[in-house]
Structure formats: C-alpha cells, structure tokens
Amino acid sequence: MHYVGVDLGATNVRAVVGDETATVLGSDSRGTPRGPNGIAVTEAVLSVVRGACANADVDPSTVTAAGIGSIGPLDLAAGVVQGPANLPDTVERIPLVGPVSQLLDTEEVYLHNDTIAGVIGERFHADRNPDDMVYLTISSGIGAGVAVDGNVLSGWDGNAGEVGHMTVDPHGFMTCGCGLDGHWEGYCSGNNIPEYARELHEEDPVETVLPVEDPDFSAVDVFEAAGEDTFADHVIDQVAHWNAMGIANVIHAYAPLVVSVGGAVALNNPDRVLDPVREKLADMVFINVPEIRLTALGDEVVVKGALASALTAGTGDRSRVENPP
C-alpha cells in the first residue's frame, strides 16, 4: 500500500509518497504561488502530488490515504484553507481535501494545520512516543502543534495551536499579517522580522549595515549581520525577548516535557534563536521548564507528519502501524 503526505506552506509546497513503514519512495516540491487566487495554490498541490507519485512509480489512483499539513486558518468541514494570513489577500480560499481526494480516488484524506502535522511527525518518528510535547514552527509564520496526555489537540475547526496570534505586546507596536496588533508572529516570524527592524530603526535611526530601506530587505540580512553590526544584534535581542515570552506562554498553557522547534528561521539560525530563549526561560516560567530542542526531522517534519497521519488514519497513533519506525 502507498500513502501521500503534503506540506503546504506560505513559501513552498511539497509532497511525498511512502509505503506502510513510512519510508519515502518519491517526492516533489515547488514554490507556493502567490496568486492570482486560491485555485492556483490548489493546482500547485495537485502538481507536486502527481510529481511525487511519478517519482515513486505509483499510480495516484492506487494510493490508500493522504495527509495534508497546511498553513491556516482551516475550515475542516469544507476541507479548505480560508483567508491565509501569509499569502496575498486575493488568495481567499484554497480547496484541498476535495481535489486531492478526487486525484487519488480515495476518501481517506486528512487535513491538519501544518504544526499539528509537525507534532504528529515528531511523535511518530521519536524513539519514545512523548505524550506531552509541543512542536513549534518559527518560519514565515509562527504556530504550534500540541500533544497533551497522548492526545494531539486539533480543535473542532482544526485551528488549535495558532499561538503566533497570541498577544505578547499589549501596546501593539507591530501589526501582524492577520491585521491585528501585538501578536507574537508580528515580531518574530521570517516575514515580519524585517518589518520590525524597520520600525525599530525609524524610532532610533542609528548607523547600520542593514539595508532597511531596500524593498528586498529580509530576515536573512539581519541574521547574517549579527555579531558584526550593533543594530542587527539589537534586533535579534528584541526578537529573542518576544520568542521567550511566547514560548513561556505555551509552556504555561500546555506543560510539555519537550518543545521541539522547526521552521526556516529556527533551523537556519539555531544558536541565535534557541540559545537566548533557553537562557531567559528560567526567569519567565513558573512551572517546570521543558527541554527546548531543534527538530531532528529538519524541514521535512511537516511532510513526514502528514505522511504519518495518512498511515494512522489521521491520529498520529503509532499503535495503528504494524512496524512503526
């Protein structure tokens, strides 16, 4: 039997085909279209699924089940993404479950928020299946997948874990991509770090090598200048403060034993993202401080979690699989 996993992010979309042991047999990926509408994104998803099947020499119509880990917010009842915060406003609705089900000729298509797929992947591939853990992504956006007492939290509409939209700054210095002020994601996501740096520089226009006026100024520029530019170091210190506050809130909410962190910002800059958080948490957390670690699954954590959810009927419960890895 063959299974499909899909990771739909704001930057890239990828798909894998695996067997009943979750071994990946073929994959495909491409950039996520920025429009002109949601159907263009749907077509990109179908394209990478076809590509992964072709690379695995698998007929799409013979696939048993599929899992999709997607940016949100989700409408699980309709099987769509509705109004994604990190894509242009013209991308209002992205149909997923129906088109993928039609392509694969199966009704077993499981849609999850990408971070929920991430925590399913973390638990499925762990040597020990941690009952209480959080998978946190710091990437184009910020979100979390949460397992408590062995149960992966999804919520009635699939949108549990949107922790990037927790308010960390009541003064609302930054506006999040969702349009609301003071959200964690508005300060610390890959999309918003350069905007935050611009606002900080406007308040205090010190000399810096950062190209703050360049429309192509990015978070990469900030991290590359770290250690050599005082203002870049200041921006990273401020980002670390908000990250520590956000993670402390997550710890108080869910009491995890482990917080596993992924996403491009964290994966590409683990020392500058995670080390300051580890240093700050002891002074910010009232309960037990969990292990803060980088995901061992790298940038494949969501797509491997989506594949695992296909094998386990959407639950991530490894007991459903005869020979889990």
Distance CA 304, CA 289 (A): 28
Instruction: Give the model's pLDDT for residue 233.
Output: 98
Instruction: Write down the pLDDT at residue 27.
Output: 98
Strands 65-70 and 93-95: unpaired
Q: Is residue 296 helix, strand or coil?
A: coil
What pTM value is reported for the model? 0.89
Which of 100, 98, 114 minimizes the C-alpha distance to 305?
114
Q: What share of the chain is helix, strand, coil (3-state, %, to 5)?
A: 40, 20, 40
Residue 323 C-beta-side C-alpha neighbours within 13 Å: 5
User: Could you tell me if 126 and 97 are in contact, meaning their C-beta atoms sit under 8 angstroms apart?
Assistant: no
Q: Which amino acid is at 293?
A: R
Residue 155 contacts residue 142 (beta carbons within 8 Å)? no
Cis peptide before 276 (omega within 30 of 0): no
Q: What is the 3-state secondary structure (H, E, C) of 64-88?
A: CEEEEEECCCEECCCCEEECCCCCC
Interatomic CA distance for residues 44 and 294, integer angstroms: 29
Q: Are 135 and 78 in contact (CB under 8 A)?
A: no
Instruction: Give Cα separations from 48 to 15, 40, 187, 298 (angstroms).
Output: 6, 13, 32, 20
Residue 178: what pLDDT? Answer: 87
CA distance 77 to 73: 12
Rg of the chain taking only CA atoms, in angstroms = 19
pLDDT at 44: 98
What are the pLDDT tens digits along the chain (325 aa)?
A: 999 999 999 889 999 999 999 999 999 999 999 999 999 999 999 999 999 999 999 999 999 999 999 998 999 999 999 999 889 999 999 999 999 999 999 999 999 999 999 999 999 988 876 799 999 999 988 999 999 999 999 988 888 999 999 999 999 999 998 899 999 999 999 999 999 999 999 999 999 999 999 999 999 999 999 999 999 999 999 999 999 999 999 999 999 999 999 999 999 999 999 999 999 999 999 999 999 999 999 999 999 999 999 999 866 666 555 555 5
* Predicted local distance difference test score (pLDDT) of residue 140: 87
| The predicted structure's pLDDT at residue 315 | 67
